[in-house]
Amino acid sequence: MIRFASQKKDLLPSQFYNLKADLPSLPPPPLNPQTKEALKPEELEVIFPRGFIAQEGTLDSFVAIPGEVRAAYELYRPTPLIYAAGLKKALDTPAHILYKYEGVGPTGSHKSNTAIMQAYLAAQEGVEILTTETGAGQWGSALAHAGSFFGLKVKVFMVRVSYRQKPGRKTMMKLFGAEVEESPSPSTKIGKKFYQEDPNHPGSLGIAISEAVEVAVKHPEAKYSLGSVLDAVLMHQTVIGQEAIKQLEQVGLQPDIIIGCVGGGSNFAGLAFPFLRQHLKEGREIKFIAVEPVACPTLTKGNLRYDHGDTAGMTPLLFMFTLGMEFIPPPIHSGGLRYHGMAPLVSHLVKLGLVQPMACSQEKIFAAAKIFLQSEGILPAPESSHAIAVVIDEALRAREEKQEKVILFNLSGHGFLDISAYDQGK
Ligand SMILES: Cc1ncc(COP(=O)(O)O)c(C=O)c1O
């Protein structure tokens, strides 16, 4: 068996894939937070670049990737598709396990796939500053890199618990020239409210989003950039699944099971959506599993309803699985999965029964990360380890059932800058 599929440049897609074009039904539309009417695209212009808004609303099956963005992708794409021979041996399973390794991105995760596209769109329109939130710092550092690439200033609100747990990513963002503040911060109206109650407030992605949106709304030269959840962000990530389809063809395998971790849903969607297209159009049978933390069980315990994407209620209302905009998840080490909501598209797929959600405890994911490190030699991000924990369960089930299942998962990022989390974790 070939251990690495080809990474030839011609595998890099020239278009993003838009699942909305092929779905039997669409999720209910976002609503204006004040009027509660369906949101008009122009109402988003105060927050997002127009090019991004157009991508958010499109129903075209494919959207072209601009040449400059493809050139930036070529720094690290196509990412490797790796046959997990070591893990297969360690688990003594007949299953074939493969992973798409997004940790080779410039800052160590899949987040660059959308950061580069979003920074490009903002720069095209003369935006000077991009504001954003970040949990573990993967998204913030990806946007800091993309901003420096396209000549934009980046201002990041980093969730306090992660700022303190993961100082390495804060340093990386600053090295790229970004400004980084702990959230909740004393420098915004919404941040101040929480900061004054408790200067050590652990923060949440919901609060950090409110802070970043508040700054973007106040400054006409600034726009806001979101690292997950939105349709366009999920679409940018489909470069992952499109490459994986071609790479799997080379090794002559087709997946029976596709697994990804979910925070806002983007890396899971990026891998799964092009395969969902095959399922919807060609009837190919694939089990799709989205894995979240027990500590932030949006899909497994949340309700499917309209809710705000942030804690202050400034963002549009999205129809999604949510734990409620006020939910502050416990300070687990998977900072990128501490989000109260879920992408409307991923939520819709769960409702349609096309995606199966599962939750894993922190203890379980740390154990899975250790098995993976020892068998594959890569330290996974704690977020990605949620996918690995379920991969191990499925591979062991295949052993029990003596079935040669093909399991594909997204290794969304490496954990080299999460080392202190592993030090403290069990
Ligand atoms: C490595 C990694 N994986 C997964 C996620 C979760 O985000 P999403 O569900 O949008 O992929 C994050 C978020 O920061 C992350 O850093």
Give the model confidence (pLDDT) of 111-120 as tens digits. Answer: 999 999 999 9
132 or 426, which is more confident:
132
The percentage of the chain sitting over the pLDDT mark of 70, rounded to a whole number, equals: 98
Closest by CA position to 340, among listed 201, 219, 229, 189: 229
Cα separation, 33 vs 332, in Å, equals 30
Q: How much is the average pLDDT of 105-113?
A: 97
Atom of ligand 1 nearest to the CA of 268: 11
- For residue 356, give the CATH number of its domain: 3.40.50.1100
Domain count within the chain: 1
Give the model confidence (pLDDT) of 170-220 as tens digits. Answer: 999 999 999 999 999 999 999 999 999 999 999 999 999 999 999 999 999
Q: In angstroms, what is the span from residue 13 Cα to ligand 1's centroid?
A: 22
Q: Which of 337, 338, 339 to mutate to test the pocket of ligand 1 (most atoms within 8 A of CB)?
A: 337
Q: Where residue 5 falls among pLDDT bands split at 50, 70, 90?
A: low
Q: In angstroms, what is the span from residue 338 Cα to ligand 1's centroid?
A: 10
DSSP 8-class letter at 275: H
Atom of ligand 1 nearest to the CA of 381: 1
Q: Is residue 193 part of a domain?
A: no
Give the model confidence (pLDDT) of 157-167 as tens digits. Answer: 999 998 998 88
H-only helix segments in 264-323: 266-282, 298-301
Q: How much is the average pLDDT of 384-393?
A: 98
Q: Is residue 3 part of a domain?
A: no
Residue 29's CB: how many other CB atoms inside 10 A? 14
| Least confidently predicted of 34-38, 161-165, 313-317 | 161-165
- The answer, yes or no, to whether residue 268 has pLDDT greater than 60, is yes
Q: Which of 267, 385, 417 to mutate to test the pocket of ligand 1 (most atoms within 8 A of CB)?
A: 267
The response to whether residue 255 sits with its C-beta less than 6 Å from ligand 1 reads no
Q: Is residue 37 part of a domain?
A: no
Cβ-based neighbours of 172, under 8 Å, separated by 6 or more: 107, 137, 141, 144, 417
Closest by CA position to 137, among listed 102, 105, 101, 172: 172
Mean pLDDT score of the chain: 95
Cα separation, 360 vs 218, in Å, equals 40
Q: Where residue 4 falls among pLDDT bands split at 50, 70, 90?
A: low
- Domain that includes residue 302, residue range: 9-13+64-109+232-424
Cα separation, 143 vs 14, in Å, equals 22
Measure Cα distances from 282 to 83, 286, 353 in Å. 25, 11, 18
Atom of ligand 1 nearest to the CA of 265: 9
The pLDDT of residue 3 is: 64
Q: Which of 228, 229, 231 to mutate to test the pocket of ligand 1 (most atoms within 8 A of CB)?
A: 228
- The answer, yes or no, to whether residue 1 has pLDDT greater than 60, is no
- The answer, yes or no, to whether residue 256 has pLDDT greater than 70, is yes
Residue 210's CB: how many other CB atoms inside 10 A? 30
The response to whether residue 267 sits with its C-beta less than 6 Å from ligand 1 reads yes
- In degrees rounded to 5, what are phi and psi of residue 110? -65, -15
The percentage of the chain sitting over the pLDDT mark of 90, rounded to a whole number, equals: 92
Q: Is residue 75 part of a domain?
A: yes
Cα separation, 391 vs 408, in Å, equals 8
The pLDDT of residue 170 is: 95
- In degrees rounded to 5, what are phi and psi of residue 303? -110, 145
Q: Is residue 300 part of a domain?
A: yes
Q: Is residue 185 part of a domain?
A: no
- The answer, yes or no, to whether residue 2 has pLDDT greater than 60, is no
Q: In angstroms, what is the span from residue 35 Cα to ligand 1's centroid?
A: 32
* Closest residue by CA, ligand 1 atom 4: 383
- The residue length of the chain stands at 426
Q: How much is the average pLDDT of 260-276?
A: 98
| Least confidently predicted of 50-64, 150-164, 251-265, 328-342 | 328-342
Q: Is residue 171 part of a domain?
A: no
* Closest residue by CA, ligand 1 atom 1: 413
Residue linked to tokens 């949106």: 213
The response to whether residue 79 sits with its C-beta less than 6 Å from ligand 1 reads no
Atom of ligand 1 nearest to the CA of 267: 11
- The answer, yes or no, to whether residue 88 has pLDDT greater than 90, is yes
Q: Is residue 116 part of a domain?
A: no
The pLDDT of residue 237 is: 98
